[in-house]
Chains A and B, each alone.
Chain A
Amino acid sequence: MDRRGFLKTAAIAATGALAAPRLSLAADSKTLRFVPQANLANLDPIWTTQYVVRNGSLLIWDTLFGVDDQLNPKPQMVESWENSPDFKTWTFRLRPGLKFHDNEPVLAKDVVASIRRWQVRDAPMGLPIKKATDALEVVDDQTFRFRLNRPYSKMLFALGKSSSPCLFIMPERMALTDPFKQITEYVGSGPMRFKRDEWVPGAKAVFEKFDGYTPRAEKANWLSGGKRINFDRIEWQIVPDGATAAAALQNGEVDWLETPISDLYPLLQKAPHIKVDISDPLGNIGSFRINHLYPPFNDVRARRAVQIALSQEDYMEAVVGDDASLWKTLPGFFTPNTPLYTEVGGEPLKGKRDYEGAKKLLAEAGYKNEPVILLVATDVPITKAEGDVTADLLKRIGMNVQYQALDWGTVGQRRASKEPPDKGGWNIFHTWHAGADCVNPAPYTALDASGDTAWFGWPKSDLVEAKIAEWFAASDFAAEKAAIDALNKAAMDDVVYIPTGFFQFKQAWRDNLSGVVKAPFPVFWDVTKA
């Protein structure tokens, strides 16, 4: 053998030897490896309202009611209930045989303590119920009752709502924790138990099947029905880099990505053994959030100036890209394709954008080139894209925009400041709202227009508040719809905030998984792995 021949043979042998331990091993069909949208840094779904915490908590803790894909609350831990005709007395009975992960039975006292902790932190629904409650009482081990001093017809939706904070039922000893402090153990009665000994925050969280869980007999549908888990373990692997996560999925190192980065959708769609589809049919609503306390936007004419010039197409293309199937314009505040969706009053966001009209309105509002402070969280791709479009838009209508590039942690702090914009406050920031939180006014904190107690920006509109109250008081769908139409128009007229469009993300999974559904949260029940 000559030198070249020897080298060639050696190279082939070396390549073969290295290739032999092929790494994409057939994965254990009883273990699901899931990459969540973000790091699971803690697991107290009342203390924090982050969605990744809610999603993990859905495995550990069960809920009294759960919404299906039509957003109807269905009984989950509850076996039966009755309410008085005036909606003032609500009595609930728990399913028999419910057990916590420490094998203690779930009792009405656990439920009552859990409701009390949740109420303090759930401003849209929990707190109003608390204020309306004369008594929340344990009737017997399986039964509890609300006695209210005024009607509350949305009780079932409140007890089963999917937006954070959800009402998760914890053992009484945990539920007695101050709602502003973290719980120190993670014992629930849900289908999986949390393996605290394997938890590496920022890297891995492991859930183990709880054999003591008895699913309901009905077929699972989002958070309702029988939550049958087909895995012994569900491992959440935190992969901070989107490209790495996509590569890990292609390589068979993980089974399911909750939110692959949108730039990689085309790559994943072409990759063998990978399926890609919309993750959340309720999507998201982009938000141009305005500070109503200070000039120029304390004058509704200045807010309307931006509204008639704002192009939702520009925002959506910047946020999602040129795949038009992933976004649509949204001349309204409520989630498209849901029962209460309306475009009544949405005309200012439709048609050709009116820069000259905007300049005129700004002049009428007395705007004299004062700096407009735009807070942009540049570490979050969505807010960065929205911020860039806004900077351009404001310049086009003659505003003196000061683009402040920050990280989300700083925006989170700055937006809470009620100081004037030139003293550490702000005029505009961007965020987005999960469509699941925008299906009706109950979980929709961004639409609250109560002024000082409203969400950041502190909009104040008596008409908007009146229409929200009308919706809460409505006892049938027609009355609800009428209230929502009027609410949408009032919020548009007063420019509570400006929706920048409706957009959706995709999820991706290996084709040996079946049963993956579209939902505002990852649904692990009924998923199987070949």
Chain B
Amino acid sequence: MFAYIIRRILSTIPVMLLVALFVFSLLYIAPGDPAAIIAGDQATPADVERIRESLGLDRPFLVRFFDWFWHVLHGDLGTSIFTNLPVTHMIAQRIEPTVSLLILTLLLSLSFAIPMGVVAAWKHGTWIDRTVMMTAVVGFSTPVFVIGYVLAYVFALRLDWLPVQGFTSIEQGAWPFLRNLILPSVSLGLIYMALIARITRATMLDVLSQDYVRTAKAKGVGQTGILFVHALKNAAVPIVTIVGIGFAALIGGAVVTESVFAIPGLGRLTVDAILRRDYPVIQGVVLLFSFVYVLINLGVDLLYTLFDPRIRY
């Protein structure tokens, strides 16, 4: 197992290399010019050109790529064209809000989605099942920003229970931290919740028709034990898979959620960097997201062995 983990981690290196080359090439061919944005509307074309030169944007593609890549190999993701701050510093400033948002969303979604899916499967064909599935359809088909605006209107503007926007670090207390994240997490989590609830229901329906469940019932095992101990564990592999895949959607959704709720996270950093063509920041953040996604896939693979002892690496 340990050797497998090491192999998988090593296998991320060529993946990251390809991602780096792909992202760098994509940005190189993409239109847009940070020098023109820096210079502003009043600047002359000559000024724009001088700024481009000072930023090294006039150098050939390969020179720029290898220069950047050499620094990445040394742990230096470069310096933002606009803020003149190290990209690692900018990422460090933004990582807590995004990680907090994603973890809370994950916890909220799993806490509601799995019981919902299990109960829907158990009460298959009843009004409970239909209600759960209808909720899932609504959650899945409503855009994150619509949910965000509705929640902010009701819970912030009308009821004044929660703030409209912003982020407070956990260092300033659990409640200030949570109150800023509740609405964004619910907004972002609904789609994820819907996805997991549907998969849980479908998988549980399959598992509940298995012989060993009938045997457990015949042996007098209680309904809760059958559902959450015997059946859910065997339904876990597809659920874990969809949790992993859905995480990518969650990262994408975080970009929108962070904009709607003005959370200073990595999603907003990415959007701002793309709009300004802040190449070092875009490259740094995309590399980071790719690395995280590779790690999540590794985590999912390892979880398989926990839920299904037949799986060995």
Please state if B160 and A22 are interface contacts (CB–CB under 8 Å). Answer: yes
Q: Taking CB as reference atom, which chain B residue is nearest A416?
A: B45
Contact of B276 among A24, A409, A416 (CB under 8 A): A409
Q: How far is the CB of B105 from chain A (nearest CB, A)?
A: 18
Q: Does B192 contact A (CB under 8 A)?
A: no
A178 to B51, CA, bound (A): 10
- CB neighbours (8 Å) of A412 from chain B are 32-33, 36-37
Known contacts being A248-B164, A455-B44, is A409 close to B260, with CB within 8 Å?
no
Q: Does A83 contact B (CB under 8 A)?
A: no
- CB neighbours (8 Å) of B268 from chain A are 202-203, 240
- How many residues on chain A are close to B (CB under 8 Å)? 62
Please state if B261 and A244 are interface contacts (CB–CB under 8 Å). Answer: yes
Please state if B40 and A50 are interface contacts (CB–CB under 8 Å). Answer: yes
Please state if B40 and A49 are interface contacts (CB–CB under 8 Å). Answer: yes
- CB neighbours (8 Å) of B264 from chain A are 200, 202-204, 238
Q: How far is the CB of B42 from chain A (nearest CB, A)?
A: 5
From B58-66, B79-87, B226-234, give the one contacting chain A. B79-87
> Mostly helix, strand, loop or mixed at chain B's interface?
helix
- CB neighbours (8 Å) of A165 from chain B are 42
- CB neighbours (8 Å) of B32 from chain A are 407, 409-410, 412-413
- CB neighbours (8 Å) of A413 from chain B are 31-33, 36
- How many residues on chain B are close to A (CB under 8 Å)? 56
Known contacts being A23-B160, A431-B41, is A201 close to B90, with CB within 8 Å?
yes
Q: Taking CB as reference atom, which chain B residue is nearest A22?
A: B160
Please state if B160 and A42 are interface contacts (CB–CB under 8 Å). Answer: no
Known contacts being A19-B159, A50-B40, A416-B36, is A178 close to B165, with CB within 8 Å?
no
Q: Does B135 contact A (CB under 8 A)?
A: no
A357 to B275, CA, bound (A): 41
- CB neighbours (8 Å) of A182 from chain B are 84
Contact of B164 among A18, A164, A244, A456 (CB under 8 A): A244
Q: Does A224 contact B (CB under 8 A)?
A: no
Q: Does A477 contact B (CB under 8 A)?
A: no
A237 to B268, CA, bound (A): 14
Q: Does A11 contact B (CB under 8 A)?
A: no
Q: Taking CB as reference atom, which chain B residue is nearest A48?
A: B38
Between A and B, 7 residue pairs with Cβ closer than 8 Å are A23-B156, A240-B272, A244-B262, A251-B164, A409-B275, A412-B33, A453-B44
Q: Does A379 contact B (CB under 8 A)?
A: yes
A21-57: which residues lie under 8 A (CB-CB) from chain B?
21-24, 39, 41-42, 47-51
- CB neighbours (8 Å) of A244 from chain B are 152, 164-165, 260-262
Q: Does B161 contact A (CB under 8 A)?
A: yes
Contact of B165 among A22, A184, A248, A416 (CB under 8 A): A248
A376-422: which residues lie under 8 A (CB-CB) from chain B?
379, 406-410, 412-416
User: B162, B165, B175, B260 — which one has the most chain A CB atoms within 10 A of its CB?
Assistant: B165
Contact code string B81-124 (vs A, CB < 8 Å = 1, else 0) = 01111000010011000000000000000000000000000000
Contact code string B260-302 (vs A, CB < 8 Å = 1, else 0) = 1110100011011001110000000000000000000000000
